[in-house]
Amino acid sequence: MTDATALPGQPRGAVASGPATARAVNVLAPNPSAMTLDGTNTWIVAEPDSALAVVIDPGPLDDAHLRAVIDAVERGGRRVGLTLLTHGHPDHAEGAGRFAELTGTRVRALDAALRLGDEGLGAGDVITTGGLELRVVPTPGHTADSLSFHLPADRAVLTGDTILGRGTTVVAHPDGRLGDYLDSLRRLRSLTVDDGVHTVLPGHGPVLEDAQGAVEFYLAHRAHRLAQVETAVEAGHRTPSEVVAAVYADVDRSLWPAAELSVRAQLEYLAEHGLI
Ligand SMILES: [Zn+2]
Q: What confidence tens digit (pLDDT) does each residue in 95-133 have?
A: 999 999 999 999 999 999 999 998 889 899 999 999 999
The pLDDT of residue 164 is above 60: yes
CA of residue 48 to ligand 1 center, whole Å: 29
Say which DSSP state 180 is in. Answer: H
Query: Tens digits of per-residue pLDDT, 188-234?
Result: 999 999 999 999 999 999 999 999 999 999 999 999 999 999 999 99
The total number of residues shown for the chain amounts to: 276
Return d(Cα 276, Cα 108) in angstroms, integer. 40
Question: Which residue(s) pair with 76 in the sheet?
Answer: none
Average confidence (pLDDT) over 147-175: 96
User: Element (H or E) spanning 137, and its range?
Assistant: strand 134-138
CA of residue 121 to ligand 1 center, whole Å: 18
CA of residue 77 to ligand 1 center, whole Å: 31
The pLDDT of residue 136 is above 90: yes
pLDDT, residue 260, reads: 96
The pLDDT of residue 242 is above 60: yes
pLDDT, residue 35, reads: 85
Strands 79-84 and 107-108: parallel
Q: Read off the amino acid at residue 47.
A: E
CA of residue 161 to ligand 1 center, whole Å: 5
Spell out which residues have Cβ within 5 A of ligand 1, the ion.
Answer: 89, 161
Average confidence (pLDDT) over 180-190: 98
Question: Which residue(s) pair with 26 in the sheet?
Answer: 18, 43
The pLDDT of residue 4 is above 70: no
Q: Read off the amino acid at residue 3.
A: D
CA of residue 235 to ligand 1 center, whole Å: 32
The pLDDT of residue 11 is above 70: no
Q: Between 15 and 127, whose confidence is greater?
A: 127
CA of residue 231 to ligand 1 center, whole Å: 28
- The overall average pLDDT reported for the chain is 93
**What is the b/e burial string over 116-127, where b = at least 16 CB atoms within 10 angstroms of the residue's CB?**
beeeebeeebeb
CA of residue 189 to ligand 1 center, whole Å: 20
* pLDDT confidence band for 13 (50 / 70 / 90): low
* pLDDT confidence band for 16 (50 / 70 / 90): confident
CA of residue 88 to ligand 1 center, whole Å: 7
User: Element (H or E) spanning 160, and its range?
Assistant: strand 156-160
* pLDDT confidence band for 17 (50 / 70 / 90): confident
pLDDT, residue 93, reads: 98
CA of residue 3 to ligand 1 center, whole Å: 6
pLDDT, residue 7, reads: 52
CA of residue 160 to ligand 1 center, whole Å: 7
Contact 41, 28 (CB under 8 A): yes
